[in-house]
Each structure stands twice: as C-alpha cells, then as structure tokens.
Structure 1
Amino acid sequence: MSMNSIIEIITYFSAFLMATGVITFCGSRLSKYGDIIAEKLGLSRTWIGVILLATVTSLPELITGISSVTYADVPDIALGDILGSCVFNLLILAFLDMQFRGSPVTSLAHHGHILSASLGILLFIITALSLFLKDKIFPLGWIGPYTLIFILTYFIGVKMIYIYEKRQFARYIKEKAIELKYEEISTKKAIIHYAINGFFVIITAIFLPIIGEGLAEATGLGQSFIGTIFIAMTTSLPEVVVTLSAAKIGAIDLAIGNLFGSNLFNIFILGIDDILYVKGPLLYYVNENHIISALSASAMTSVAIMGLIYRAEKKNFFIAWDSLIIIMFYLINMMLLYTLR
C-alpha cells in the first residue's frame, strides 16, 4: 500500500471520527426529546420509534441511494447499503441486549413490535423474490412492480401500527399517566430541541456515505461487499447512537421501534431509488448475491419475533439466546458475501 493511500485512509478515518462525535452527542439528545414528544402527544414509544426516529436515522441511506442510482450509477452500492443497513440494524438489537443484565431485552419490550417486524419480513421476502426473478417480472415503465408494493406496504403498515398503538395506549391510559417523567418540559420546547438535534444528525450523516465510499476505494474491495458491510455500517451509525441512547434513558420500546421502523423505511427508500433509476427496474441491474442479505434479514427478524413472543425470564450468559442466533446469522451473511464478492 502506497503512502498516498495510507494518508487518504487516515484522512477519511479522522473525518469519520469527527462525524461520530457529532452524531453521538446530538443522537443521544434526539432520543431524549423523542421520548418527551411521545409522552406529551399521548403516543406510544413504539410508534414514535417506528416513524419519527426511524425516518431521521434512515436519511443517510436515502442520500446514499439517490446518489448511487443517479450520477454515480452504482446500483449495487444502493441496494447493498439498504439491505446491509437492515441486517446491521438487527445486529444492533443483539448489542442492545448486551446492555441489560438479567432479562433479555426482547422480554422487556412491547408486543406491538411484532407487527412492524412482520411487515419487515414480508418486504425482505418480496425483495429476495424480485432479485431471483429479475427480468421475468413484467415492469411498469422503467420501474419494477415491487416498488409499488414497497410503497403501499410502508404506508399501510404505518397506519396499522398507529391504530394498534393508539388502541393499546387508550387501554392502559391510567398506567401511562402515572409514568409521566417530563412534566416540567413543554411540548414546544421538546419539538424545537428535537428538530435542532435532528438537523445536525441529518447534516452530519449526509457525509457518512462519502466517507464510507472514500475508504471503500482505498481498500479495493467489491461493490456488493463494501455496500452491504462497510457503507451500511457507516450509514447505520445514527441508528446505533439513537437506539443505545434511548435504551439508556429506559425507553426500550423507542429503541427497538427505531430499529424495526428503520428497516421498513429502508425498503421504502429502495422503492424511491427504483423510481429514480431511469435505466429500468433497479433490481434487474444488480448482483444476485444481495438475495443473501435479504434472506439473512428475514431470518434475523424471525428470531427477534421469537424472542418477543417467548419472552425468556433470564439469560443463561451475558447475552440472550435470540441475540446470539442473530449474531450468528450476521456473521454467516458477511462470510457468504465476502466469499461471493
């Protein structure tokens, strides 16, 4: 490796550390004010995590996707970032579990997450099937029919989650009233602080794909592998910070809702990327290896659902059985992508 390459890597890595610092600081405050907004507006932490936090923390994937399918013309990076971020978000769930002693994190979470997680599995399977069939599916102009399914499923899913969570909130309104923690903070102040911190997270996160692509070029690895592993990890940094910060203040449902909600929004972004990729249906022009990530995300989400339903009372070690299986699937996904790169 030449000296210029080493200097380039150091430069990009320094920029990455700076971006990490900003996102860590503002992301922790974003979690706090998201929790306050949930309390003030009478909304569940699950719904706030699925919609409000997930939309903000998934914007780096949106920016990366748009740039990848327009002027950069690297559709594999776009899809790799989307599916890689979904897989990495589920890995974050396992890391989140390690933060709690005694009970698994899935046993502390609300059952409502099963709804958003199930919708995620549906979208992952449709993605994998579309990748397998490719040009055997009749396109709608320059877009694939799967794009309409992605967009409709996302909006219908958001509505379903909202109705379900509202119903649950009304059922337990007395208990919720007792749990109020932020009576001294006004709704206006919470929204303003949320917007300010969200703005800095978004602006900083926009540069993460550029940093990730710069480091990717310096390493010389393939687009599918880099897009799914490294760039996905950098664009998922907001999810990491916001999720762990939410858990730290005791907002478990906010944290888990952010992860499952980000996965739903990521597949919605894939639909947007397909619309902007005017050469034709996006999934016609990408490597079939991405099927591995789509199926891995489905399997990992299925394991998370099992944990949410089974609700184990304690861990055998420092990590719950479902989190351990999730980590195993993630490692298998990485090894297969590296082998087939």
Structure 2
Amino acid sequence: MDIVLLLIFGLAGLVIGGDLLVRGAVDLARRIGLSPLVIGLTLVGFGTSTPELVTSLQAAFAGSPGIAVGNVVGSNIANILLILGLAAVLAPVVVERNAFRRDGAVLALSALMCLVAVQYDSLSPTVGMVFITALIAYVAVTIIRERRSVAAEASIAIAQPKGLAEGSVWKDLVFVVGGLGLTILGARFLVTGAISIASSFGVSEAVIGLTIVAVGTSLPELVTTIAAARQGQSDIAFGNIVGSNIFNVLFIMGATALIKPIEVPASIASFDIWIMIGATALLLLFAVTRWRISRIEGALLLLAYVAYTAWLGLGAAS
C-alpha cells in the first residue's frame, strides 16, 4: 500500500507541478514576444520535460541506471507512439513545413546521437557536454531565426508588458517556482516507489523505467499536446512532441550524464533504443507524406505502443 501511495503522490506531483511550470513559463514568454512556435519548441518542450530531468537525476543518484536511462528512452517512445498517436486520433495534427524541415532534422540527429551514446557501457560527462552544447546551439538558432522572421510583431509584443499589472507577472513566477518544487517532490516519490516495485516483484529497473516511470513523467506532454490539438493549435501540439523529444535526449540525458555518469542497461542498448529509433522514423515519415498526422496514422502509432508494452510485459513475466 505504501508503494502505491508513493506512485500516486509522485505522479500527482509531476502532473500538477509540470502544468503549473508550463503555464507560468508560457505566460512569461508571451510577455517578451515569443511566438507560439518558439514557445512550443523551447519553453513548453523544456517545461514538460522537467519531470523527466528531475526523475532521471534522482534515479542516477539513487544508483538506478535502468530507471535513469529507461525514463528518457521510454518517454520518447511514449511521446510519439502513445501521446502523438492519441492526439492524432482525436484531431488530425497539421505539420508546419518550414519549421519541420529544421526541427525534424534536429529530432533525427538527436535520436541518432542517443543511439550512438547508449552503445557504450556508460554515459560519461564528455557525452553529456556534447549533448548540452548541441541543445544550446539548437535553441539559439531556433529563437534567432524566429525573431528575425517576426521582428515587427515581436517589437509590439515587447512593448505590451509595460501596461500589464505587476501582480500577473508575480503570479507567473509563483507558478514557475511552485511547479518546479512539486515536480522535484513528485519525482522523488515516483523513483522511490518504482525502485520498491522492481525489488518487490523481481521486475528489472529498466522495464519499470521504460513503462511506469516513462509514462508517468510524460503525462504533462499528454495534457498539453491533447489540449493544444483539440483547440486547433497544431503548431504547439506537434512542436511540443518534437521539442520534448529533443530536450529529453540532449538536455535530460546530457545533464544527467554530466552531473552523474550512468551505466546503460544492456537490454536498452540492444532493444529499446531501436524501438525509439523506429518510432522517430515513423513520425518523420507520417509528417512529410501529407504534412499532417491523420487519424489512421495516429491509430497505427497507438497500436505500435500497445504491441511494445505487451512485449515488455511478456519479457518481465518470463
């Protein structure tokens, strides 16, 4: 019962904290004139990836590399197959061509970097530094290009916050700080509960990290992506998935390896990383065929996720 409560409190903290963090960050970003695309690819992607970051760091320091690495790989798989699939089934997701030509290439590159990195026995600080540097370059180029293309609108947007009440800014800051605190606390509970489950039922930490922890930390992406898709804001819905997956690899795996080097479980290096590569390839293929993710394609993504989790379940049972 204690384990179940830890998981419930942990997941609740991640969902509520992630939601508060994203809301505060997005409102602050709009005050300085960032466009919806940049918000989706950077701040929303970063904010909804914060649970994965904190959870992976907690797991790494707790000596649970299966949860630390499985969380990143499993979250990327869940983001594409489960979350994007579900969003597309509810409402077809339109892909903006010009943005995807840039960001899709970065997504593919980050996935390949992850593939190469996990083939080694451990993720070293050197690997972490390379990943973090690549992320900084990506975010800088994204913001610079977007700001240049909407220079006039950005100038107007920057001038607008002067007329806003100071209280609203403070509310955004409270959301950001409070959301981050809840996320950290929720991650601690979730990791503790996941480790307890693995030890109690004899399930490997890698499987727990790839399933319960990965889906749990991906709940903020689920909420924001489905909400954006249903409101007709496909640029944020799709950009959230792309941005989150890029952040998961370059920032979360990079920061974790930089702060606390971690070993890579053999099962993830030999099997699950290839599922992540396959899911990324499907996303790229579906996106460029008609520049939209249709309901049928969304259903195929969902079926692929069901098959993947069933395979993991059979492996854990045996």
TM-score band, normalised by shorter chain: 0.7 to 0.9
Query: Residue 74 of structure 1 corresponds to which residue in structure 2?
Result: 64
Which structure has the larger Rg? 1
- State the one-letter code of the partner of 2:296: A
Structure 1 position 324 matched with structure 2 position 299:
yes
Q: Which moved more, 1:330-339 or 1:234-243?
A: 330-339
Alignment-derived partner of residue 277 in structure 2: 298
Kept in 2: contact 1:213–1:231 (CA 8 A)? no
The residue matched to 1:289 in structure 2 has which SS?
helix
1:47 corresponds to which residue?
38
- The secondary structure found in structure 1 opposite 2:77 is helix
Q: Which has the higher helix share?
A: 2
RMSD: 3.6
Indicate the SS of the match to 2:124: coil
Q: How does 1:97-136 map to 2 (within 5 A)?
A: 97-100=88-91, 104-107=92-95, 109=96, 111-132=98-119, 134=120
CA distance in 2, matches of 1:287, 1:231: 19
Point out where structure 1 has 5 or more consecutive residues left out of the alignment: 1-7
Give the counterpart of 1:88 among 78, 94, 98: 78
Contact 2:93 2:293 (C-alpha < 8 Å) held by counterparts: no
**The one of 288, 295, 303 aligned to 1:309:** 288
| Residue identity in the other structure for 2:53 | L
Separation in 1 of the partners of 2:44 and 2:292? 29
Query: CA 1:336–1:291 in 2, change beyond 3 Å: closer, same or farther?
Result: farther
Matched letter for residue 117 of structure 2: S
- Equivalence for 2:50: 59
In the aligned structure 2, how far is the partner of 1:34 from the partner of 1:335?
37
Shift of 1:153: 1.5
Name the amino acid aligned to 2:103. S
With normalisation by structure 1, the TM-score equals 0.73
Note closer, same or farther for the CA distance 1:32–1:126 as it changes in structure 2 (3 Å cut): closer
The answer to whether the Cα contact below 8 Å between 1:201 and 1:238 also exists between their aligned partners in 2 is no
Checking the alignment, whether the CA contact within 8 Å between 1:113 and 1:260 is kept in structure 2 is: no
| Secondary structure at 2:266 match in 1 | coil
Residue of structure 1 aligned with 2:253, choices 244, 256, 270: 270
Partners of 1:125 and 1:294 within 8 A in 2: no
| Partner Cα separation in structure 2 for residue 196 and residue 146 of structure 1 | 29
Q: Residue type of the partner of 2:67?
A: I
Q: Which residue in 2 is equivalent to 1:202? A: 183
Alignment TM-score, normalising by the size of structure 2 = 0.78
Aligned length: 307
Who is 2:173 aligned against? 192
Instruction: Answer whether contact 2:25 2:176 (CA < 8 A) is retained.
Output: no
Q: Distance in 1 between matches of 2:313 and 2:241?
A: 25
Structure 1 match to 2:240: 258
The secondary structure found in structure 2 opposite 1:42 is coil
Q: Which moved more, 1:156-165 or 1:78-87?
A: 156-165
Name the amino acid aligned to 1:276. I
Shift in CA distance, 286/248, structure 1 to aligned 2, threshold 3 Å = same
1:206-285 correspondence runs (5 A): 206=187, 207-267=189-249, 268-277=251-260, 282-283=262-263, 285=264
For the residues of structure 1 that align with 2:270 and 2:165, how far apart are their CA atoms?
A: 47
Quote the Cα distance in structure 2 between the aligned partners of 1:264 and 1:312: 20
1:305 offset after TM fit, Å? 2.6
Task: Give the Cα–Cα distance (whole angstroms) in 2 for the partners of residues 288 and 19 of structure 1.
Answer: 26
Matched letter for residue 155 of structure 1: I
Distance in 2 (CA, whole Å) between partners of 1:261 and 1:312 is: 17
Q: Percent identity?
A: 24
For structure 2, the residue ranges without an aligned partner over 5 or more in a row are none
Q: Could you report, residue by residue, the CA deviation over 1:159-186 in whole angstroms, capped at 9, with x for unpaired residues?
A: 1222233244348x49x99xx9xx9887
